[in-house]
Chains A and B, each alone.
Chain A
Amino acid sequence: MAYAWCFLLFMTGLYCAVVKKNMVKIVLGIIIMEYAVNIFLIMLGYRIGGVAPIVGKGELAGIDKVTSAFVNNCVDPLPQALVLTSIVISLGSLALMIALCIRTYERYGTFDITEIRRLRG
């Protein structure tokens, strides 16, 4: 159910990127796809009733050990680490795509990709 929801969100973004003819709309579709993939990766590591992967005072056993309750309840930290880098990278790629859009608008005076295709022949 939740995975299928992620897939539906991904398909919405893909529809937007494929069908629309406004350049900024295509960028928005790519952003929606990024959100869907990030949420799906986090969902793969979730367990019901889990705790966040951050050790507090209550989870310490001894000096450097964590309690077994923490180990048995912790959600997966690996997808979180991967998604954390992915989010910052998506901001950089968003800036790059927007720079392309602005430059194209200045060159052709429109965001419409079919118009641009017609102008260039």
Chain B
Amino acid sequence: MAANSSPSNGAKGMTVIVKTISSWVKMLIFLFGIYIIITGHLTPGGGFAGGVIIAGSYVLLMLAFGREFVEENLPLRWASRFDCIGALLFALVAVLGLILGGSFFVNWLFRQQILPSKALELVSAGTIPLSNIFIGIKVGASLFLIILVLSMFRPAHLRGEKE
């Protein structure tokens, strides 16, 4: 968006070097975000940091290739849908605690020993990894949405409606 709005750069996006490097790196950043999310209950990280990293991978694509490229892959309405879906699923986990465990936000999967739960293993800690995943989806989608909305706004002197 910074490159788009500068008048000297007519083509969409940045130079070939930036495009090549970012197309190599984008999946690595995305995978790192997913890793941070799903091991959030064992190592530093969690839903917040991982969600922001996933949003950062899309922002990298947006800076390198231009906004239209990203909007073909993840349109605005799908980003807002992911946002709502993440928030609703996180609330659903809490309501399931109310139904199955006796109170809101109780860790019902861990209390009732449904899954084998041993410390320091990936499948442990009951609902905490589930909540981490949903929080990650919600935070990533919403931060991507904010930057997309900020870059879609064109001020009047760039739209050509100068008074």
Direct contact of A and B (CB under 8 A): yes
Give me the interface of A with B, judged by CB distance under 8 Å. Answer: 52, 54-55, 57, 60, 63-64, 84-85, 87-88, 91-92, 95, 98-99, 102, 105-106
Asked if B150 contacts A98 (CB within 8 A), the reply is yes
Contacting residues, chain B, for A102 (C-beta < 8 A): 150, 153, 155
Q: How large is the interface on B (under 10, 10 to 19, 20 to 34, 35 or more residues)?
A: 10 to 19
Give me the interface of B with A, judged by CB distance under 8 Å. Answer: 43-44, 46, 48, 52, 118-120, 139, 142-143, 146-147, 149-150, 153, 155-156
Contact residue among A57, A87, A88 (Cβ-Cβ distance under 8 Å from B120): A57
A-B pairs with lowest CB-CB distance, top 7: A95-B146, A106-B155, A88-B48, A106-B156, A84-B48, A64-B119, A60-B119
Report the bound CA distance from A98 to B156 in whole Å. Answer: 17
Asked if A99 contacts B156 (CB within 8 A), the reply is no
Asked if A54 contacts B43 (CB within 8 A), the reply is yes
A92 CB to closest chain B CB, in angstroms?
Answer: 7
Asked if A63 contacts B118 (CB within 8 A), the reply is yes
Contacting residues, chain A, for B46 (C-beta < 8 A): 84
Asked if A88 contacts B43 (CB within 8 A), the reply is no
Contacting residues, chain A, for B156 (C-beta < 8 A): 106
Residue of B nearest to A62 (CB): B119
Asked if A105 contacts B150 (CB within 8 A), the reply is no
Contact residue among B44, B118, B150, B155 (Cβ-Cβ distance under 8 Å from A54): B44
Q: A54-B43, A88-B52 are in contact. Are A99 and B118 (CB under 8 A)?
A: no
Asked if B150 contacts A85 (CB within 8 A), the reply is no
Residue of B nearest to A54 (CB): B44
Contacting residues, chain B, for A60 (C-beta < 8 A): 119-120
Report the bound CA distance from A17 to B135 in whole Å. Answer: 33
Asked if A55 contacts B120 (CB within 8 A), the reply is yes
10 sampled A-B residue pairs with Cβ under 8 A? A57-B120, A60-B119, A63-B118, A84-B48, A85-B48, A92-B142, A92-B146, A98-B150, A99-B153, A102-B155
B156 CB to closest chain A CB, in angstroms?
Answer: 6
Asked if B155 contacts A105 (CB within 8 A), the reply is yes
Report the bound CA distance from A63 to B143 in whole Å. Answer: 39
A62 CB to closest chain B CB, in angstroms?
Answer: 9
Report the bound CA distance from A64 to B117 in whole Å. Answer: 10
